[in-house]
Every structure is written in structure tokens, then in C-alpha cells.
């Protein structure tokens, strides 16, 4: 009787496994699954092990992938519309060009994932780990990234219009030419971030940390909670909206480094531009002058 019972259990297991949502997938030599071009829409795949799986052109629309392991999976051309990816592991995955509109990825791990050109409009990415992720040209308009980790992420040319980036970690992130118009960056950490040429019109920057950030050419018109003069680097190039200022009276002479006969580079010692470098010229009997152009 015991043998019969074991046989029944084994048969039941085989039937159950064969009829599961991943039954049509094949196993590859490395043990990962090949589910390419399969229809897994609406499937319950919570906590499933899909690490390294081939999910190219797979339909995962409406699938429940809560806490699933998809690390290193190939999701090119996959359909993830309406999928539940909360707390899923998607580190190093290829999600480039995917339509992830309104995706629920709260708490998801997307470290160093490839999201180049992905559509993440109004996606829920609260407290999501996107450290070092490639988000070049991605559409994150209206996305909720509150408390997210985007340290070192590449957001070059990304659209973050009206995105919620409150308390987000953007240290060292590349945001060149990114659109952050009316984005909420309250208490965000932008230490060392590259915002060259970024559009920050009407952005909310109250208590944001911009220490060491590059804001050259950034458009900060109407930005709130931001002292423009405190962050714009004095320049030797005259242009509209800038006025000439002689910084010699506030230069810290102990920081001056010779640049040749009659030329020095010094750091401003006090005021709004403290720590900024300016070039100084010797004008003979007139003395030194450190003329640079800053916002009016």
C-alpha cells in the first residue's frame, strides 16, 4: 500500500508540473528556462525562479511576478503590460525598448538593468533599486520614483517630466539633456550628478543636495527652492542674462595657482560662489582682476 501511495503522489506531481504555467517552457543546458514566444499572460508566477531565462517575445501581460527572480533574464520584446513586478529581482536584465507603462515595480531590484528607450510612463517605482541602470532615452514621465536608488544610473536624454523623485538617490547619475520639467526633487540627493543641458523648468528642488553637481547649460527657469547663483559656475563667456563681476575682493589668495606670467586661477572664498574657480589677470599698477560672468 505504501508503494502504491508513493506512485500516486509521483503521478500527481508529474501531472501538476506538466500543467503548470511554465509547462511549455524548455530547459536549457545551463538549467535556465527557454520561454520565448510563450503566452504567460495572467499567469501566477510569484516567487518563480526565472533567472537567466529566455523570455524574448513572451506575453507576460497581467502576470503576477511578485518576488520572482528574473535576474539576467532576456525580456526583449516581451509584453509586461499590467504585470505585477513588486519586489521582483530584475538585476542585469534586458528590458530595452519595452512598453512598461504604469508598471507596478515598487521595491523591485533593477540594478544595472538595461532599460534604454523603455516606456515607463506613470510607472510605480517607489523605493526601487535602479543603481547603475541604463535608462538612456527612457520615458519616465509621471513615474513615481519616491525614495528610489538611481545612484550612477545613466539617464541621458530621459524624460522625467512631472516625475516624483522625492528623497531619491541620484548621486553620480548622468542626467545630461534629461527633461525634468516640473519634476519633484525635494530632498533628493544629486551629489556629483551631471545635469549638463538638463531641462529643470519649474522643478521642485527644496532641500535637494546638489553638492558637486554639474549644472552647466541647465535650464532652471522657474525652479523652486533653488538658489541659481549658488550653483552656476562663473564663466569667461559673455551671454544674455549674465553680468560681469570682479571676484578679486572675495578670492582666497591661498588657493591661487599660477597659470603663467600674469595669470592665476583662484577659488572664491566667501559668498554665493564660494569654492568656485575663477581666472585672474594682472593689470600692472591696477592690480589683479578676476572678471567672470554670472547670472544677473
CA distance 72 to 293: 49
Averaged pLDDT score across all residues of the chain: 89
pLDDT score for 274: 80
pLDDT score for 205: 93
Give pLDDT tens digits for 168-191: 999 999 999 999 999 999 999 999
> Predicted confidence band at 165 (pLDDT cuts at 50, 70, 90)?
very high
CB neighbours (10 Å) of residue 237?
7
Picking from 77-81, 82-86, 274-278, which range would have the lowest pLDDT averaged per residue? Answer: 274-278
CA distance 103 to 101: 5
pLDDT of 10 > 70? The answer is no
What stretches of 126-229 adopt beta strand conformation (E)? Answer: none
Picking from 14-23, 164-173, 237-246, 255-264, which range would have the lowest pLDDT averaged per residue? Answer: 14-23
CA distance 226 to 169: 18
CA distance 228 to 278: 18
Amino acid at each position: 500500500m505504501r508503494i502504491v501511495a508513493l506512485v500516486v503522489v509521483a503521478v500527481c506531481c508529474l501531472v501538476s508540473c506538466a500543467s503548470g504555467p511554465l509547462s511549455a517552457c524548455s530547459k536549457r543546458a545551463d538549467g535556465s528556462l527557454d520561454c520565448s514566444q510563450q503566452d504567460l499572460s495572467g499567469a501566477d508566477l510569484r516567487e518563480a525562479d526565472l533567472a537567466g531565462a529566455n523570455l524574448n517575445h513572451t506575453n507576460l501581460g497581467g502576470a503576477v511576478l511578485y518576488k520572482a527572480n528574473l535576474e539576467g533574464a532576456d525580456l526583449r520584446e516581451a509584453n509586461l503590460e499590467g504585470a505585477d513586478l513588486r519586489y521582483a529581482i530584475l538585476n542585469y536584465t534586458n528590458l530595452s525598448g519595452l512598453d512598461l507603462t504604469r508598471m507596478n515595480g515598487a521595491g523591485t531590484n533593477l540594478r544595472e538593468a538595461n532599460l534604454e528607450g523603455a516606456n515607463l510612463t506613470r510607472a510605480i517605482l517607489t523605493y526601487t533599486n535602479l543603481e547603475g541602470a541604463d535608462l538612456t532615452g527612457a520615458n519616465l514621465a509621471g513615474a513615481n520614483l519616491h525614495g528610489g536608488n538611481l545612484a550612477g544610473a545613466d539617464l541621458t536624454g530621459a524624460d522625467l517630466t512631472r516625475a516624483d523623485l522625492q528623497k531619491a538617490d541620484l548621486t553620480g547619475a548622468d542626467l545630461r539633456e534629461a527633461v525634468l520639467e516640473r519634476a519633484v526633487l525635494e530632498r533628493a540627493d544629486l551629489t556629483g550628478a551631471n545635469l549638463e543641458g538638463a531641462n529643470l523648468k519649474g522643478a521642485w528642488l527644496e532641500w535637494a543636495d546638489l553638492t558637486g553637481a554639474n549644472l552647466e547649460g541647465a535650464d532652471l527657469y522657474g525652479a523652486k527652492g533653488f538658489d541659481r547663483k549658488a550653483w552656476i559656475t562663473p564663466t569667461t563667456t559673455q551671454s544674455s542674462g549674465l553680468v560681469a563681476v570682479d571676484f578679486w575682493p572675495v578670492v582666497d589668495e591661498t588657493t591661487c595657482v599660477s597659470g603663467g606670467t600674469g595669470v592665476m586661477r583662484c577659488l572664491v572664498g566667501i559668498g554665493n560662489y564660494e569654492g568656485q574657480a575663477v581666472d585672474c589677470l594682472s593689470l600692472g599698477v591696477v592690480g589683479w582682476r578676476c572678471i567672470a560672468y554670472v547670472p544677473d
